[in-house]
Amino acid sequence: MSTNLALYNETCLKCSKLTTNAYSSSFSLGIYLLDRKYHAAIYAIYGFVRFADEIVDTFHEHDKAALLSEFKADTYKAIQDQVSLNPILNSFQWAVNKYYIENELIECFLESMAMDLKKKEYDLNSFKKYILGSAEVVGLMCLRVFCEGDDKLYQELKSPAMSLGSAFQKVNFLRDLKDDYEGMGRTYFPDLDLENFSTEVKKELEADIQKDFDAALIGIKKLPQGVRLGVYAAYSLYLKLFNKIKKTPALQLVEKRIRISSVGKSLVLLGSFYRNSGR
């Protein structure tokens, strides 16, 4: 690789890192705790996912469908050409080509983004499809990086990785009930009536999410040493948020967005170090 091309790729990867740090303190912390050899690829994946999500959630004064279609075409062209003048897509194509991330995962993700342009309410089937594309396959992209070509390990950890992505996304949905409904007119959970959001309904949703967390933890314990702490820290941050949501009455959850303080995040980090020490 020429010096100039290496510099260009490095600059693009810094853009992906900047994007991650700007949009998610929780994922930034999790990535920081990974072995450094994984940082660039995970930043690249997050930057790609974040930009696609921005198209459907932010650019209200523009033709979102056209922008997403163009983004999709540019993504596949970047992967095929192994270069792009879009720094986020250049970083992503580098990660895809280096770690052999399947096009099926990318296509599934982009299909879920397209669903956000059309659907405002979800039944059980469309909800499962959206969770698969928006979260579970993102977990699988990251798992491809973590397994570094070891397909046997990938297949063993595939189901737990999907469960972790599912848990994260469902917690996001619970946390953002108010913002999604008032800002986007969306309700993701199947047949959910926010005007009559009861304690019983909330507990049913929480029981389903807890199953995802439990299944994910089994896989986290089997991750390579250089990965486990970072993934466990992200798991712990979301579990803490989830536990705080569980303690929040249903009516209050519809009225406000639950957050974890900086001090709370620091305590989670310390706990993660302690639980993973010596393993």
H/E stretch holding 215: helix 199-220
Buried b (16+ CB within 10 A) or exposed e, 151-163: eebbeebbebbbb
Q: How many helices, marked H, and strands, marked E, lie in the chain?
A: 14, 0
Buried b (16+ CB within 10 A) or exposed e, 24-57: eebbbbbbebbeeebbbbbbbbbbbbbbbbebbe
Which pLDDT does position 279 carry in this prediction?
A: 44
C-alpha closest to that of 173 among 60, 258, 58: 258
142 Ramachandran zone, left/alpha/beta (phi>0; psi -120 to 50) = alpha
Q: Is residue 121 helix, strand or coil? A: strand
106-118 mean pLDDT = 95
Sequence-ordered list of residues with C-beta below 8 angstroms from that of 85, at least 6 positions apart, any chain: none
Written out in words, the top-level CATH class of the domain with range 3-276 is mainly alpha
Which pLDDT does position 266 carry in this prediction?
A: 66
Tokens of 278: 């010596």
| Most confident range, picked from 30-39, 73-82, 221-230 | 73-82
Residue of higher predicted confidence among 199 and 195: 199
Q: Which residue type does 160 have?
A: P
pLDDT tens for residues 158-174? 999 999 999 999 999 99
Q: What is residue 62's DSSP assignment? A: S
**Distances 68 to 59, 63, 73, 74, 92 between C-alpha atoms, Å:** 11, 9, 9, 10, 16
Q: How confident is the model at residue 34 (pLDDT cuts 50, 70, 90)?
A: very high
pLDDT tens for residues 216-259? 999 999 999 899 998 998 899 999 999 999 999 998 888 888 88
pLDDT tens for residues 260-269? 777 776 666 6
- Residue ranges of domains in the chain: 3-276
Mean pLDDT of the chain: 91
